Amino acid sequence: MPALQVRDLPEEMYVDLKACAARNHRSIAQQTIAFIEDGLERDREGASSSPELHDALLYDKVQEAMDNARPIRPFSWLSAVESEPDDVVKARQAKRDKLVERIRSFPPPRMSATCEGIAKMIREERDVRADSVAGAVDRGLGAGRVVPS
């Protein structure tokens, strides 16, 4: 395969090429080939390398795509859903209100919000867990060992 060497490439152009290659998950050589292919394709189509002409062609393509696009209605399916009768909605709302009222009737939980109270709860839970593990070991269920009885 033929090789191409470019001499006296400006540092800024090399940095831009390297950044572009990284954005496109390509090596610098692959990105260079992609740029050359793009330039040759435009040349074959008779397009000038003029940025103004390129922008005009791109604008025409974008405009054509917009003209041919169908409108997007993301919630169009909602119009197909029948609304529920008012009595069903009111019954559901009454049931929800009754449930909320029942929850509010419960006494608030008694908790000590101090650091000492929180530490005490953690210690108690740790002790319960340790006792449960110790009991399992005593019964021969821990660490695969069987304790003779």
In a domain, 148, yes or no: no
Rounded mean pLDDT of 74-100?
80
**What pLDDT digit, counting tens, does each position of 2-32 carry?**
888 888 888 888 898 898 889 889 898 898 8
For residues 125 and 117, the answer to whether their CB atoms sit within 8 Å is: no
In a domain, 143, yes or no: no
In a domain, 25, yes or no: yes
For 36, the domain range is: 11-68
Q: Taking the model in full, what pTM does it have?
A: 0.33
Q: Give me the number of domains the chain comprises.
A: 1
pLDDT at 54 over 80: no
